[in-house]
Amino acid sequence: MRALRSFTVQTHLPEELAPLRELAMNLRWSWDVRTRELFRSIDPRAWKASHSDPLAVLASVSPERLDELAADRSFMTFMGEVYDTLKRSTGRDRWFQQRGSSPLRNVAYFSAEFGIAAALPQYSGGLGVLAGDHLKASSGVGIPLTGVGLFYKEGYFRQSLNTEGWQQERYPMLDPHAMSLTLSTGADGQPVRIHLDLAGEPLVAQVWKAQVGRIELYMLDTDLEENSAEGRLVTDRLYGGGTEHRIRQEILLGVGGVRALEAVGIDIQVFHMNEGHAGFVGLERIRRFVTEHDMTLPEAVEAARSATIFTTHTPVPAGIDRFQKSLMVKYWSGWCAETGVPFEQLMALGAEPTGGDMFNMAMMGLRLAGMANGVSKLHGKVSQKMFNDLWPSVPWDEVPIGSVTNGVHGFTWVGSEMADLLSRNLIPSWPEADQKIWNKIQDVPDDELWRAREMARGRLVTYVRGKMAEQERARGRMDTEWTDRVLDPRALTIGFARRFATYKRADLLLSHPERLAALLSNPERPVQLVFAGKAHPADDQGKALIQRIISFAIDHNVRDRIAFMEDYDITVAAHMYQGADVWLNNPRRPMEACGTSGEKAALNGALNLSILDGWWDEWYDGKNGWAITSAEDELDLVRRDAMEAESLFNVLESQVVPLFYDRPRGMVPLGWTQRMKDSLDSLGPKVEAYRMVRDYTEQYYEPTARATDALSASGYRRARELAAWKTKVVGAWDQIKVVSVEGDLGTTTLRDERVVDATVAIDGLRPSDVIVQVLHGPVAQGDELVDPLVTDAEMVEARGDGTYLWRAKFSCNTAGRYGFTARVLPRHDDLLVPESLARITWA
């Protein structure tokens, strides 16, 4: 029977042990080794059974054991030290405070998912884990940031495989009272209640707060008795249900999120939208500006934009949230009525430039953000091309989308063996190490590095065996003895874990079954594979991929060389990154926006063997791992996959396996350890999330903070002026004409100065409203300019007839045919990116 009502009984901790609750409630435990060790020591079996969850340990520990601990001097000393470190760590000045004054007061980071610990399963994969690492790293370097998300009662699905190897999904209910979460209260001390209107129905949400080091994360939850049955289900599952469910969740995240921050008393300066799911933040902010500050829609858009950053994560249009017009009518008519903004103008904010009447969340994100970025250099470029239509007159490589390459939170992901080695040989807080400090890895004795490698691999093998036995028992098989023989702690171990989406090609290795079987069953130089990953519940193709891997192991009699670990989550993932020798990634380039699992593996000393996509395209240097040749020019996918599989097997057979087993002097493979050093040395300072959040701060948060402070001063005076200026410029832009571009065309010598005069008609505008630029450089066939340089011209003469003369001077630094042209762009002090107005007139 089901209980009608339920409540939570908390363990009563003796007063001396009160710090334990505080330590368990700050998710800093998820990356702090000593805090974890403290909870493990309370009850090692409960720690293991709970998959490393301090609150579960506290909930299960007996009163007798608590008394025993309170009387245990060494435990009490250890607890005191760990507690002191927590207190000190949250107060100390970090990188952000140490660099002196900053225009940045605070950032709200909105994301549909956050992956912080396996014990708080509010993530599905890469996007969420990245968001979790963003919070942790912000805590580490002291950035004033607040996270905003949703609390899903059933989280994401849990995976198991049936006896046929077919994925089964489960959705166990979570109890927020039993997690490292507290209910947020308002100024009156009462739990805050967020109120929304969902297509005419009132919706109420409570707000859970998670403490992540020094960072707070607020999660909205509609599972309340005040709500209708449907209302309660808004936060049932992550990415469950159809598009209507999705729009309801996204309204709660965007609109509710802004209201939640207000209710807990945080006045936000900068808004960072992690992917389009959070895009409705912009509409809520616009509503405020219109109704509370009496702005027009264009003014409100400027005010909202100036404070907003949008990060896109998907290189494929199909990965973007889009809503049908009918859903927009249903859920946003109320907004239109309240603001007086006609529905068509609302739709225009999310319209796709190619036509149709879908509302596209990425398009809205880009239109309502003052700055936007992709998540690796390559992905930044792919995004510039993908969204070029939004800025039609702008050349694709000047589309205003930049990039910050994703990084990973080292303290969370690096295993104890490697973490010890790094803190001994670099600096204790090695995630802060710069390139010069990382160079010291080259001096670490090879056998020390190799020992850490062997221990981590051994730990993975033990973990896999335990997990396999558990999986077998769950399927009702009692004969689990064979799982003790799964994997060999000394064999070359390849890790492969990711979502089983088709483009990630988990089956590329299976495309040469005989070659793979030969690698796996080679008695002298054995290779073994550890797999993990979930397929989307609706994706039967993805599930079939998993099944093929399972059948391959059975059919080729290599069950002891291939392990598939069920229910890929943060704990499974960490064991794999820590224990693998080689991290394999073979997506179809450029479908992987960044990828982060390889970065986590690299910090653990694994070598990447990967298609040059995402982060690996940027940082592979020829000796820090291996590249699989991408045959993306081949349009026939079957042929392309075959060519890339060939490259993968060639590298494995002729380079990876021989290097691992090349052990001339005793036991240490010196070629391998050298490559590990080159990998750590070159990647260590780059893949760390501390670097990522520092980049966001300097390149995005601070410029945005400056812009929004300027535009919002004196009742948003400059936001209003900017909106008026844009209206004027856009209205007059069609009259802009480059009348002539003249310059000396005689042969010249290298480095000589050339002068180019451009006469431009700017009817209705002032010269200060525009920039005239001369583009010049070597020309190829058909006088096509190759990578032209851009020189801003100076206005030198008003001609009186509405035309003006601009002059640019430059020197020619390449010999051969040289050419030039000119163009006109809008210019305004508060227009951070001239291209963003998508008005460029070419000569």
Residue 399 or 570 having the CB closest to ligand PLP: 570
Of 610 and 773, CB closest to ligand PLP: 610
Q: Which residue's structure tokens are 């549909």? A: 112
The CA angle 613-617-621, to the nearest 5 degrees, is 145
Q: Give the torsion sign (CA, 367, 370, 374, 377).
A: positive
Token pair belonging to 573? 């993932």
Whole-angstrom distance, CA of residue 624 vs CA of residue 640 = 26
Within 10 Å of residue 359's Cβ, how many Cβ atoms?
24
**Chain centroid offset of residue 793 CA:** 40
Least Cβ distance, residue 498 to ligand PLP (angstroms): 4
- Residue 353 CB-density burial (10 A; 0-12 exposed, 13-18 middle, 19+ buried): middle
Contact 130, 596 (CB under 8 A): yes
Minimum separation from the CB atom of position 597 to ligand PLP (A): 3
Query: Minimal distance in Å, beta carbon 31 to ligand PLP?
Result: 13
Question: Cβ closer to ligand PLP: 159 or 471?
Answer: 159
Minimum Å gap between C-beta 500 and ligand PLP is 11
Give long-range contacts, CB 8 A cutoff, 24+ apart: 520-526. Answer: 520/556, 520/558, 520/561, 520/562, 521/556, 521/557, 521/558, 521/561, 522/657, 524/661, 525/492, 525/657, 525/658, 525/660, 525/661, 526/488, 526/491, 526/492, 526/561
Of 375 and 550, which CB lies nearer to ligand PLP in the complex structure? 375
Nearer to ligand PLP by Cβ, of 124 and 206: the residue is 124
At closest approach, how far in Å is the CB of 123 from ligand PLP? 7
Q: With CA atoms as reference, report the closest residue to 776 among 809, 824, 738.
A: 809
Report, in Å, the least distance between residue 600 CB and ligand PLP. 6
Question: Closest CB to ligand PLP among 125 and 144?
Answer: 125
Find, among 842, 784, 791, 843, the residue nearest to 813 by Cα: 791
CA distances to 117, 160, 209, 293, 616 from 574, in Å = 11, 19, 25, 49, 20
Nearest CB to ligand PLP, comparing residues 32 and 613: 613
In whole angstroms, how close is the CB of 530 to ligand PLP at the nearest point?
A: 14
User: Given the rule CB under 6 A, which residues bind ligand PLP?
Assistant: 125-126, 129, 498, 568-570, 573, 595-597, 600
Which DSSP symbol is given to 112? S
Rounded to whole angstroms, how far apart are CA atoms 199 and 251?
11
Residue with smaller CB distance to ligand PLP, 286 or 535? 535
To ligand PLP, the closest distance from the beta carbon of 535 in angstroms equals 13
Q: Dihedral of the CA atoms 680, 681, 682, 688 (nearest 10)? A: 60
CB of 656 to ligand PLP, least distance (A): 19
Q: Which is nearer to ligand PLP, 125 or 165 (CB)?
A: 125
CA–CA distance, 200 with 108 (Å, rounded to integer): 28
Nearer to ligand PLP, 95 or 171 (CB): 171
Please state, in angstroms and as integers, the Cα–Cα distance from residue 667 to each residue in 447, 459, 627, 653, 672, following that order: 9, 19, 27, 21, 12
Q: How far is the CB of 501 from ligand PLP (least distance, A)?
A: 9
Considering beta carbons, is residue 264 or 602 the nearer one to ligand PLP?
Answer: 602
State the minimum distance, in angstroms, from the CB of residue 132 to ligand PLP: 9
* Radius of gyration from C-alpha coordinates of the chain: 29
Q: Residue 310 carries which DSSP code?
A: E
**Nearest-approach distance from CB 682 to ligand PLP, in angstroms:** 19
Helix (H) or strand (E) holding 405: none
Which is closer to ligand PLP, CB of 405 or CB of 596? 596
Contact 409, 689 (CB under 8 A): yes
The 3-class SS string of 230-278 reads HHHHHHCCCCCCCHHHHHHHHHHHHHHHHHHHHHCCCCCCEEEEECHHH
Q: Encode 331-340: b = buried (16+ Cβ within 10 Å), e = exposed.
A: bbeebbeebe
Beta carbons of 401 and 836 less than 8 angstroms apart: no
Residue 358 per-residue DSSP state: -
Least CB distance from residue 598 to ligand PLP, whole Å?
6
Residue 399 or 506: the one with the smaller Cβ distance to ligand PLP is 506
H helices within 556-609, ranges in order? Answer: 570-579, 597-603
- In angstroms, the CA 392 to CA 352 distance is 12
Nearer to ligand PLP by Cβ, of 142 and 614: the residue is 614
CA neighbor of 26 nearest in space, from 137, 128, 117: 117
Query: Closer CB to ligand PLP, residue 498 or residue 754?
Result: 498
Min dist CB 694 to ligand PLP, Å, is 20
Amino acid at 358: M
Which of 517, 510, 522, 528 lies closest to 465, judged by CA?
Answer: 528
Q: Which is nearer to ligand PLP, 130 or 247 (CB)?
A: 130
Beta strand 789-792 with 794-798: parallel, antiparallel or unpaired? unpaired
Query: Could you tell me how far CA 164 lies from the centroid of its own chain?
Result: 34
Closest distance of CB 136 from ligand PLP, Å: 13
d(CA 810, CA 792): 10
CA distance 352 to 371: 19
- Whole-angstrom Cα distance, residue 233 to residue 242? 13
Nearer to ligand PLP, 259 or 588 (CB): 588
**Which is closer to ligand PLP, CB of 208 or CB of 615?**
615
> Would strands 194-198 and 201-212 be described as parallel, antiparallel, or unpaired?
antiparallel
